[in-house]
Amino acid sequence: MGFSQKMETANLPWNAIAQEPKATLRIGQAIKPGSPDDLHPSGPMVLLSAHSQGLSRSLRPGWQVDSKEYDVLIIGGGIIGLSTAMQLVHKYPGRLRVAVVEKEDHLATHQTGHNSGVIHSGIYYRPGSQKAAFCVGGARRLRQFCEENEIEFQQCGKTIVATNESELGRLETLYQRGVDNGVQGLELVGSERLNEIEPYVHGIKALWASQTGIIDYVKVASAYAFRFQQEGGDIYTGAAVHQISENDGSLAVTTLKGVLHAKHLINCAGLYADRVAEMTGELTNLRIIPFRGEYYTLRPESQYMVKGLIYPVPDPDFPFLGVHFTRNIHGQVEAGPNAVLALSREGYQKSDINLAECWGTVTYPGFWKMSARYWRTGMAEVHRSYSKGVFVRDLQKLIPGIQSQDLAAGGAGVRAQAVSKDGALLDDFSILQGRKAIHVLNAPSPGATSSLTIGEHIVGLADEAFRLGD
C-alpha cells in the first residue's frame, strides 16, 4: 500500500450494521447519505442494528456532551483508535468507562477512509522492528477477525518486480527480510513464472508474495466500532478537540460538543497526533509532515492488464514504495501513487491550502533538513504530479503496454509522516508512553494491516502505565 489511497467508495459514510443477531455478524454494509439509517452527525455515535437490542440510543440535533467522565478517552476514530477501544473494553468488561472522540461526522474518514486496502504480509520491514513484528501477526489476526465477522477479503498476491540488473540485489534483500520476518509463501520467480502470474508485466525477476491480500478497511473499522459499543463503549463524532487541561488529577478535554473528563488519554489522532500530544504538554521532538499520494484509475476496458498487486523494487532510502498497480476489493485498479508535500494536513487536492499548517511546516527545522536530503526526489515527485506523461512512463517500467488513454483521473490520500528535528523520516511505528497519556505518533503503512496487534500493544502499555487492573 505505501500510501493511503482515496477510493471511489471511500467518501461514502460506511457504517456498521449487524444483519443477524448471532455470534458471527455481517458487518460493514454501506449506507448512502440521506438514507433512513444514516447516522446522526452529532452526539454519541450509534452503530445501528436491525436486530440488536440495547444498542440504539435516541440522538438529538445539537446534542452536547454533558461533562461525562471516563477512565480512558481515545482521541481519533480511525482504525487504530477503534481497535484499541475494542480491545480495551474486551479486556476489562464492565470495569472501565471508555469513549472515543472523533472530529469528523463519520468514523474512519481520513487515512483509514482513503486507504488502498492492501493486507501487507511483512516483507519490507527491518527484522526486529515494530513494523515487522506487528504486521506479520497483525495480518494473520486480521484475516481471522474478518472470517469471524464475514468481512470480505481476498488473497490475490503481490509481485515485486525487478526490471533491470541493478535491482536484483535489493530484491534478494527483500526476500531475505520476508523470510526473517516469518512471512509465509514467498517465492523468487524468473520472468517465465512472472508472466504466468501477471502476463502483461515486464521484469527479469520478481518476488511473489502469495499471502498479500486486499480488503475494505472502513468496513473493518466499522466492525471494531460495533463491537466496542456492544461492550458499553461510547463514540462521539463531530467532536474536534481544542484544548486539554489537567484539573484535580483528571484531564478535561474540550471539544466542539462540550467538555469530557478522563483519568487517562490515548492519542490516535493520525494527521494531528503531534498537535494533540502538544496539548497535553508532551515534548515529542517530531512533527507530522503531510504527503499527498495521487492516483490514476485504470479504465474498465484496461483493467485486464492487472491480475493482483504489482509493485516496483523500492528505494531503500525513501519510505514510499513507488508507483504501482493495486486491484482493490471493489474491482477497481489504481495506478500510483506519487508522494508530494501537501499544503494542508487534509490536503487531498492541489488546491487545498491551509496557511497556518503550511507555516507550521516551513518553520520546523526538521522540514528544511529533510528537504536538503531529499530535494531531488521531491522535485521529481512534483514533476510527475503535474505531468501525466511522466507518470505513464514510470508505470510503463512495470507494464509496457499501459498508455495515457488507459488512465482516468483517480483520487488521493494523505500520509501522516513523522519527521524528527534532524530531518529523518521516521520509518518505524512510534508510540510514546507519557504519565497520563499514550501517543501514537507515527503509524503509517502497514498500520491498518497491523491495527489489531498495535491496539493490543497499546492496551498493554495502558495497563502498565495507567494501572488499569488495580
Domains annotated on the chain, with CATH: 154-213+287-420 (3.30.9.10)
Residue at 465: amino acid letter: A
Secondary structure (H, E, C), 377-444 = HHHHHHHHHHCHHHHHHHHHCCCCCCCHHHEEEEEEEEEEEEEECCCCECCCCEEEECCCEEEEEECC
**pTM for the structure as a whole:** 0.87
Radius of gyration of the chain (CA): 22
| Phi-psi label, residue 240: left if phi above 0, alpha if psi -120 to 50, beta otherwise | beta
> Cα dist. 74→56, 77, 437 in Å?
21, 8, 10
Rounded distance between C-alpha atoms, residue 112 and residue 110, angstroms: 6
pLDDT tens over the chain, length 470 residues: 444 434 333 322 223 322 232 233 333 333 222 222 222 223 444 443 322 333 333 233 345 666 689 999 999 999 999 999 999 999 999 999 999 999 999 999 999 999 889 999 999 999 999 999 999 999 999 999 999 999 999 999 999 999 999 999 999 999 999 999 999 999 999 999 999 999 999 999 999 999 999 999 999 999 999 999 999 999 999 999 999 999 888 999 999 999 999 999 999 999 999 999 999 999 999 999 999 999 999 999 999 999 999 999 998 766 677 899 999 999 999 999 999 999 999 999 999 999 999 999 999 999 999 999 999 999 999 999 999 999 999 999 999 999 999 999 999 999 999 999 999 999 999 999 987 899 999 999 999 999 999 999 999 999 999 988 77
Q: Which residues pair with 87 in a beta bridge?
A: none
Q: Is the peptide bond before 446 cis (omega within 30 degrees of 0)?
A: yes
CB 436, CB 249: distance < 8 Å:
no
